[in-house]
Chains A and B, each alone.
Chain A
């Protein structure tokens, strides 16, 4: 070998991000945003920001002004990705000798570097305080998910996806606005690559798969139909529901049909505003592997405390916590403590900075294989 090949392989792993084919299945949903993720990935009833189109078009009725993000930028990464980056930065890995290389691979077994980038623009125009809102969204989403497995014969499972999403939608209040119906239409172009590359491939000098040469492409369109029922109480109880039509993307992975329900409340106490939320996502168990019917994995709970509200949607400072797929955001994982799951600082819509820590289930059931992740969000707009 092939020290050269091995070095190249590991270097690719480090620099390009060559991951593992993902055998267990993470629920890969498009457009999951920092606020919802900080609140346990709730949003079917509680969405009230510029990501509402991805959760429930009827929830756009929770937006009472114009809202333009131009642009927004969201970066998500797993702790393993951060650790890898740190290693690369401080030079703590040494690939000079074959022993070093093997030790590195052994150390890397079981880790799961994950990086996701979302960027684009959002436009929301509220036409009526009862909830008539029209919106458009333009998003690029790139996902790189790497996993090294099998200590006997290490293999790199890689998942790379590029999505180009365009969607538009409208929320329409009925009567006095207690009941809101929403519909959105989306067009998705997807390019993805899912492969496994093992040591045998490296020894055989097999070319490393690339998205351009080995990836698959697909495009398709679909629509979401949702509702939001808002009670006229001080606790502002809201019940939301959405149905997403399955979107076939030809050679690429389809977006499965989804039914989801959500419950949310909002309480105001002076300078504080408390939001609670609970979602039951993927009610018909379309996500995941065959036989995956875990309810815990599909339940989401969230809390949000806004301090010094600026509007009905934003506060100067917002703190969040949540329970996502079986994991409390503050749950220690082998001495790892996430602390508060989300903090946001906003200057109206002009500048929003969000920071979220959450845990994603990447195994087959709630509690099997947690992936602690961080999300950093920035949007400029008005």
Chain B
């Protein structure tokens, strides 16, 4: 038995069409904004994919979770021209050295420094579970911030793929404006030149603020001043003419020192370098600045045939110690003699 059709009903048809059109009008065509966390995250990713960095920062900032914070860091890096793909492919080429490769990325404006600091702080200070990629990024970011201070201090230049310093080639730190001096004087007792005056005015607070200061606050830089005449016993046992002698050395020295802040570029450089070295795919040992700065090596100068005169003696100025998370000028001067680039 067939169902019997009811009579045509124009109003019914019009009603249906009206429902159809009204449905479109009332529901709207599209949603206007994200309504849940995953949508916010996706918006952030889309802006990143478009490489619209400022919009990406706006979309990513405030995202919860490690992924969101990492994406925010990427946005800040991107805004200041740092992308890992360029760095990584360069680093993976054995003909490149990490230091020369990142030299051109050294931040040259306050805005870039701020972006890199923010990115580094996001990665190392906020992300709870870090991946190797994140450690890699942290090594590079911290190195760039440290490099920026070194560039200022040492007047770094890149010529023919080689990084030059104020020390020149061959390196002699005496060529740098901040170089300490050790003046020798003629000693009539021994009829010989002996160390006389040690003069050094310190590397200054700015350098330490840049590498040891927390990313969000300044670090306290201490000045230790020694302005005394110190009797230094020097052994010349190998020289039958003199044997063991005592010489007077006058110190006019100001040595700056600073505790490495737990949120500083150098501290993050230490943590990230150690973590990345475990299983990293690229050799970044040359960017482990912490490992080559906090060595406890005391800067000294030699006046032949006398042995070295240390600039930090055990008097008014504390001797540097390795891996104590404290830096002073004596350690840094030693580092600057052989910075490794």
Interface residues, chain A, CB within 8 Å of chain B? Answer: 1-2, 6, 23-25, 98, 101-102, 105-106, 109-110, 129-130, 149-154, 176-178, 198-200, 203-204, 231-235, 237, 263, 265, 267, 276, 278, 288-297, 299, 301, 323, 326-328, 363-369
Contact = CB atoms under 8 A, between A and B. Distances in A.
B84 A203 contact: no
- Identify which of B3, B5, B35, B50 gathers the most chain A CB atoms within 10 Å of its CB: B3
Contact of B31 (A106, A200, A366): A366
A150 B36 contact: no
B84 A364 contact: no
B260 to A, nearest CB: 28
B78 interface: yes
Contacts of A363: 39, 42, 46
Contacts of A98: 89, 93
B24 interface: yes
B84 A152 contact: yes
Given A1-B93, A364-B41, 13 more contacts: A2-B93, A110-B46, A149-B48, A151-B49, A152-B85, A153-B83, A178-B3, A233-B12, A265-B16, A276-B17, A299-B27, A301-B20, A368-B42
Contact of B8 (A234, A263, A297): A234
B89 A6 contact: yes
Given A176-B1, A200-B88, A326-B30, A152 B16 contact: no
Contacts of A199: 84-85, 88-89
B49 A267 contact: no
A326 B36 contact: no
Contacts of B31: 294, 296-297, 326, 365-368
A277 to B, nearest CB: 9
Contacts of A203: 88, 92, 281-282
B29 A326 contact: yes
Contact of B133 (A2, A153, A328): A153
Given A153-B88, A199-B85, A363-B42, A235 B49 contact: no
Interface residues of B, number: 57
A23 B44 CA distance: 12
B5 A364 contact: no
A364 B59 CA distance: 15
Instruction: Name the 6 nearest CB pairs between A and B, nearest first.
Output: A291-B36, A367-B30, A110-B49, A364-B39, A289-B38, A1-B92
A265 B16 CA distance: 8
B315 interface: no
B9 A105 contact: no
B86 A289 contact: no
A49 B187 CA distance: 110
Contacts of A294: 31, 35
A292 B78 CA distance: 30
Contacts of A327: 29-30
Contacts of A151: 48-49, 51, 78, 83, 85
Nearest to A294: B31
A134 B92 CA distance: 62
Interface string B273-291: 0000000011000000000
22 contacts: A23-B42, A109-B49, A151-B48, A151-B78, A152-B85, A153-B137, A176-B2, A177-B3, A203-B282, A233-B5, A233-B6, A278-B23, A289-B39, A290-B36, A292-B35, A292-B39, A293-B36, A294-B35, A323-B29, A365-B31, A366-B29, A366-B30
B58 to A, nearest CB: 16
B37 interface: yes
Contacts of B50: 110
B3 A369 contact: no
B203 interface: no
A367 B64 CA distance: 23
A331 to B, nearest CB: 8
Contacts of A101: 89
A274 to B, nearest CB: 10
A1 B41 CA distance: 32
A301 B23 contact: yes
A301 B46 contact: no
Contacts of A299: 23, 27
B48 A292 contact: no
Given A24-B38, A366-B30, A367-B29, A130 B3 contact: yes
A229 B23 CA distance: 21
B45 interface: yes
Nearest to B38: A289
B34 A204 contact: no
A153 B85 contact: yes
Interface string B162-181: 00000000000000000000
B93 A365 contact: no
Contact of A233 (B9, B78, B137, B281): B9
B240 interface: no
B215 interface: no
Contact of B38 (A105, A328, A364, A367): A364
B34 to A, nearest CB: 6
Interface string B234-246: 0000000000000
Nearest to A370: B30
